[in-house]
């Protein structure tokens, strides 16, 4: 049989707690440290600086079938993929690469490619050779965007490439007049032409590279 609590015991305990000035339920709670108060729970999202992107992609327009031009150094033996807006046509090796110098230094490199491994030689005048950038057999060129991501005055989108055939841009090349990397100029005599490479991250185009091409007068 359960033992019954003696009448008046609870009342006596409460009376003793009142006399001591500390209720029984709160006496065991540790005191808060001076200067610190409990804060209501809140999830704070901290935006961190995204990692810096880099790219070695080189897009060389093919101006006449097997002849093209590149804006930075390329060597004979380099292998890339030929594509245009209708698709990719296979791999092609650079047979000849000649530096085209000017009074202010090298401004471009003329190339000749080997077309023997291509599925066709009848590609459009807008075809390009893509070097140092992975593409699939379903890659193709997309229509250039009207506005460049950085919004610089006079900046032009040269190429937008879909490297895997999903209809979305994976590589963008833009061009603008500049006196130093990344800073456009509206001067009638700029020191350089800047050629920027862009990659998509989280539905936004992000800068990955700037190449400087001297402007000669």
Q: Which residues of 137-147 are buried (b: 16+ CB within 10 A; e: fewer)?
A: eebbbbebeee
The tally of domains found in the chain comes to: 1
> Do the domain assignments include residue 39?
no
Chain segment 69-99, per-residue pLDDT in tens: 999 999 999 999 999 999 999 999 999 999 9
| Res 193: pLDDT | 93
The three-point CA angle 81-85-86 to 5° equals: 85
> Do the domain assignments include residue 95?
yes
Chain segment 164-215, per-residue pLDDT in tens: 999 999 999 999 999 988 889 988 889 999 999 999 998 899 999 999 998 8
Which domain range does residue 77 map to?
Answer: 58-214
> Do the domain assignments include residue 3?
no
Q: Are 83 and 128 in contact (CB under 8 A)?
A: yes
> Do the domain assignments include residue 40?
no
> Do the domain assignments include residue 21?
no
């Amino acid at each position: 049989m359960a033992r019954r609590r003696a009448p008046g015991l609870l009342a006596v305990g409460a009376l003793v707690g009142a006399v001591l000035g500390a209720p029984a339920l709160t006496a065991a709670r540790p005191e808060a440290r001076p200067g610190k108060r409990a804060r209501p729970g809140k999830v704070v999202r901290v935006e961190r600086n995204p990692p810096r992107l880099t790219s070695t992609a080189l897009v060389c327009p093919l101006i006449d079938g097997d002849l093209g031009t590149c804006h930075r150094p390329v060597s004979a033996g380099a292998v890339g993929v030929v594509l245009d807006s209708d698709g990719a046509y296979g791999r092609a090796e650079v047979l000849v690469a000649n530096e085209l110098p000017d009074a202010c230094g090298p401004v471009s490199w003329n190339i000749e490619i080997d077309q023997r491994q291509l599925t066709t030689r009848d590609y459009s005048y807008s075809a390009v050779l893509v070097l140092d950038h992975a593409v699939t057999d379903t890659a193709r060129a997309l229509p250039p965007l009207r506005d460049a991501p950085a919004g610089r005055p006079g900046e032009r989108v040269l190429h937008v490439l879909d490297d895997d055939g999903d209809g979305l841009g994976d590589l963008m090349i833009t061009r603008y007049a500049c006196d130093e990397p990344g800073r456009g100029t509206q001067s009638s005599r700029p020191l350089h032409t800047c050629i920027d490479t862009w990659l998509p991250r989280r539905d936004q185009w992000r800068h990955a590279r700037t190449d400087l091409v001297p402007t000669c007068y």
